[in-house]
A and B are shown apart, each in its own frame.
Chain A
Amino acid sequence: MTAATHGTTSTSTMKLTLRIWRQHSPEDGGSMVTYQIEGVSPDMSFLEMLDVLNEDLILRGEEPVAFDHDCREGICGACGMVINGRAHGPERTTTCQLHMRQFSDGDTIDIEPWRAAAFPVVKDLVVDRSALDRVIQAGGYITAPTGSAPEAHATAVPKEAADFAFEHAECIGCGACVAACPNGSAMLFTSAKVNHLNVLPQGAPEREGRVLDMVAAMDEEGFGGCTNSGECTIACPKGIPLQSIADMNREFFRAATKRRR
Chain B
Amino acid sequence: MAGTGVLMLLFLVAHMLGNLKVFFGPEEFNSYAGWLRTIGEPVLHASWFLWLQRFGLIACVVLHGVAAYQLSRRDLAARPTRYQHRPPARASYATRTMRWGGVILALFIVWHILDLTTLTVNPLGKPHHPYENVVADFQVWYVNVIYIVAMLALGFHIRHGFWSAAQTLGANSRDRDRLLKVTANVLAVALTAGFIAVPVAVMIGVVS
Binding site for B on A (CB under 8 A): 19, 21, 32, 82, 84-86, 110, 112, 115-118, 181-185, 222-231, 234, 241-243, 245-253
Contacts and interface: CB of A to CB of B under 8 A. Distances in A.
A253 B98 CA distance: 25
A230 to B, nearest CB: 6
Contacts of B71: 225, 227
Contacts of A117: 77-80
B18 to A, nearest CB: 31
B169 to A, nearest CB: 7
Contacts of B160: 228
Given A117-B80, A242-B177, 13 more contacts: A115-B81, A117-B79, A182-B79, A183-B78, A185-B78, A224-B75, A225-B71, A226-B168, A228-B168, A243-B173, A246-B171, A246-B172, A253-B170
Nearest to B177: A243
The 9 lowest CB-CB distance pairs between A and B, nearest first, are A224-B78, A250-B170, A184-B78, A183-B75, A246-B172, A249-B170, A110-B85, A184-B79, A85-B85
Given A110-B85, A184-B75, A241 B174 contact: yes
B205 interface: no
Interface string B54-84: 0000000000000000010011111111111
Interface in B80-139: 80-87, 89-91, 95-96, 98
A128 B84 CA distance: 20
Interface of B: 71, 74-87, 89-91, 95-96, 98, 160, 163-164, 166-174, 177
Nearest to A180: B90
B78 A242 contact: no
Contacts of A248: 170
A246 B82 CA distance: 27
Which of A243, A247, A251 counts the most chain B CB atoms within 10 A? A243
A115 to B, nearest CB: 5
